Amino acid sequence: MKIVIQRVSEASVVINTKEVAAIQNGLLVLLGIENEDTQEDIDWLCNKIINLRVFPDENAVMNKSLKAVDGDVIVVSQFTLHASTKKGNRPSYIKAAKPDVAIPLYQAFVKTLQNGLEKTVQTGAFGADMKVYLVNDGPVTLIIDSKHRV
């Protein structure tokens, strides 16, 4: 499981001209799922997201977590995070999980994150053609892969 986290001052997701998610201060999380991913990957990543100290404290030092600032989250499925670009010019997505595997893991990820934050996590729509708008605050962007924990 791979995520890209962006600290945002605002973010939204639009599908067919309808806004389906919108937040102010918080994180936009792009989530890529592989066939080998499990609840263990979900638990580890959600714990990271909740506790990463990427928000500024009173001295403008990144020292506060999402939970500490009561920030909001949007999670967007992003199979292209698992693109292989080793050969040729057309990315291969063979490592990305198919919907029958990915959808339950995506739903479990959102539920685990909601439970840890004790608040609603907004989402895009799995497999939809989405427009994602954001103001990256900082900018702060992190890439985390659950398979590279050490």
Residues designated as active site: 78-80
Helix (H) or strand (E) holding 141: strand 131-145
- CA distance linking residue 67 with residue 117, whole number of Å: 6
Do 45 and 5 meet the contact criterion of CB atoms below 8 Å apart?
A: no
- CA distance linking residue 71 with residue 69, whole number of Å: 5
Cβ contacts of residue 72 below 8 Å, gap of 6+?
23, 24, 25, 26, 27, 119, 122
* DSSP state letter for 82: G
Do 83 and 34 meet the contact criterion of CB atoms below 8 Å apart?
A: no
- CA distance linking residue 123 with residue 136, whole number of Å: 18
